[in-house]
Structure 1
Amino acid sequence: MEAREELRTLPKELATKVARHLVMAGRLAEDEPEQAYRHAKAARRLASRVGIVREAAGIAAYHGGEWAEALAELRAARRLGAGDYSYLPVMADCERGLGRPERALDLIKSPEAEKLDPTGRVELRIVESGVRRDMGQNDAAVVTLQIPELRDRRLRPWSVRLFYAYADALVEAGREGEASDWFARAAAADRDGDTDAAERYAELEGLQILDTEEDEDFADVRAGEPAGTPAEDLAGTPAEEIPEAPVEETAEEPVEESAGAEEPEAVEASATDIAFRPAEPEVLDAPDEGAPGVPAVFLEPKQADEERPQAD
């Protein structure tokens, strides 16, 4: 609404062009920051005295990693009184990117910071935590993020970034055990996969993440077989040449223990073994040589009656 009010001060045709560039800059900011910045600069050339235009140019420059230009644009927007102070965390982060942590802290402690909404205040805390880490104050970086929002049981717009930043700060402070737990929380909250929280958690826990969706041959893999080898290709292979695969014992097929036989060593299964163990190979296509004996009564019940010798 405030952006529309500012653009209304321009001639209608000019305002339409500026609005188009601003919309494109907003859409491309994250995925194509360079293209977004071009649109923002085009809008600035058309209306450099409009605060919302300078703010959009600053945000676009920030996403493109142009810290100095972003800071200059946002300062201009601040002088022009554009909107609210929601871009204050971005300005502080720009100062951090330029290697000026003290100036970043000045912005964080400024009176304008008190006017931020909850999302802005959390973002400012995240930036402050990064500044503390840059200054070598790793414990202070952890304490900075220990705010009530960190313990909120409901997912908020800032939850993923806050959990991730807190976990990252814990790693820098040498508290990997706690960091693992918070990376797991960040991964659970990150439904869109915007962060690498799951990978960071797996790294700390020494786990390996398997992406089965991209493996087209995964459904054909059997225990003990190389990936990509269909089970039917092993149908004619002698039993002694087929790699052994772990087979679970069931009540229906008890294993007879022979006297003096050595018991196989027990292999401890991991969580991934349980989750990804494929079904046992089907025996319908197996050769008759290896098929178990079946009682004759189920095979030829009538023939057995016909061949029975007559009683004298």
Structure 2
Amino acid sequence: MAKELLEAPELPEDIEFSDLDEEARRELRTLPKSLAETVGKHLVAAGGLVDVDPEAALKHARYAKAKAARVPLVREALGLVSYHAGHWAEALSELRAVRRMSRTDAHVAVIADAERALGRPERALDLAKEMAGHSLPREVEVELRIVAAGARRDLGQLDAAVVSLQGPDLNAAQRQPWSARLFYAYADNLAAAGRRDEAIKWFLHAADADQDDETDAAERAAELAEGEDTDAVKQATELAEDETDAAELAEDDETDAAERTAGPSDE
């Protein structure tokens, strides 16, 4: 294995060290210049391949670790690539190392999800409890709630999984970066709990919030409704449209109020 790690995978011709963001390049400056550039290029390659060829991306990330194992950025890259490639144990090991090295909880939800994937939902829940009351970025806190709900579902606690996702963020009129994933997770757990009509409604909300088409929420709603009375679908669709219209109206009112407060333009 060590020999394989030291064998450099071929870099695409258009890879440049400057493709890394400035913060990442700054962190690699602790290395000799030529080594920093080599490691950086393999990190760029890993990032470019992770969605299309995770195993190829993994080779680049592992090579980067072989050259710079003491750089948190490198371990973070390998952990995330391993996670996307489904190498749960490796992802867990690397992201735990990053957590120790950097004293950051930025990837705590991914760590918890890797525990789930390894068949240890109790550990995922323990981690979620450990982080309760900690100051996490909002998107990380929401993602950890989603993972914890999945862990409860793994344990057969379906009602608890549904309840654990309820809260101020579960608002169909809101549009936050995490809204589509949260709505989708809520719908998925409602479906698992046998609450079909509610699940259809929240899958439709998720589809409406998913501007980048990252989920199959609309398809899931259609699958649940297939062969059944479509009144639930029609009602859910109308509700989603009404709530969206209400949200847009509220935004327009806020804009009008702000313009009135600001007074007439100087132009």
Same fold (TM over 0.5): yes
The code of the aligned residue for 2:177 comes to P
Task: Tell me the distance in 2 between the aligned counterparts of 1:190 and 1:70.
Answer: 27
Where do 5+ consecutive residues of structure 1 fail to align? 208-270, 272-312
Q: Report the equivalent of 2:140.
A: 120
Mark the structure with the bigger radius of gyration: 1
Match for residue 192 of structure 1 among 187, 199, 212: 212
Distance 1:34 1:2, change over 3 A: same
Q: Report the equivalent of 1:131.
A: 151
How far 1:29 sits from its partner (Å)?
Answer: 2.1
Query: Is contact 1:55–1:73 with CA below 8 Å preserved after alignment?
Result: yes
Matched, 1:67 2:88: yes
- Mean CA deviation greater in 17-26 or 86-95: 17-26
Helix, strand or coil at the partner of 1:115: coil
Query: Is contact 2:47–2:57 with CA below 8 Å preserved after alignment?
Result: yes
Q: Report the equivalent of 2:33.
A: 12
* CA shift digits 1:123-168 (9 cap, x unpaired): 0000001000001000000011102111162321111111110000
Q: Report the equivalent of 1:22.
A: 43
Distance 1:152 1:118, change over 3 A: farther
How far 1:24 sits from its partner (Å)?
Answer: 2.1
How far 1:37 sits from its partner (Å)?
Answer: 1.1
How far 1:51 sits from its partner (Å)?
Answer: 1.1
What pairs up with 1:162-177 in 2 under 5 angstroms?
Answer: 162-177=182-197
The code of the aligned residue for 1:93 comes to D
Distance 1:81 1:156, change over 3 A: same
Task: Tell me the distance in 2 between the aligned counterparts of 1:189 and 1:23.
Answer: 30
Helix, strand or coil at the partner of 1:116: coil
Where do 5+ consecutive residues of structure 2 fail to align? 1-21, 228-233, 235-267
How far 1:32 sits from its partner (Å)?
Answer: 2.1
The code of the aligned residue for 2:154 comes to D
* CA shift digits 1:173-197 (9 cap, x unpaired): 1101100000111111222222111
Query: Is contact 1:85–1:115 with CA below 8 Å preserved after alignment?
Result: no
Q: Report the equivalent of 1:182.
A: 202
Task: Tell me the distance in 2 between the aligned counterparts of 1:118 and 1:111.
Answer: 13
Helix, strand or coil at the partner of 1:168: helix
The code of the aligned residue for 1:10 comes to L
Query: Is contact 2:49–2:57 with CA below 8 Å preserved after alignment?
Result: yes
**% identical aligned pairs:** 57
What pairs up with 1:210-289 in 2 under 5 angstroms?
Answer: none
Give the TM-score, by structure 1 length. Answer: 0.63
Q: Report the equivalent of 1:144.
A: 164
Distance 1:112 1:72, change over 3 A: farther
Task: Tell me the distance in 2 between the aligned counterparts of 1:171 and 1:112.
Answer: 27
Q: Report the equivalent of 2:177.
A: 157
The code of the aligned residue for 2:78 comes to A
- Mean CA deviation greater in 87-96 or 191-200: 191-200
Query: Is contact 1:85–1:112 with CA below 8 Å preserved after alignment?
Result: no
How far 1:28 sits from its partner (Å)?
Answer: 2.3
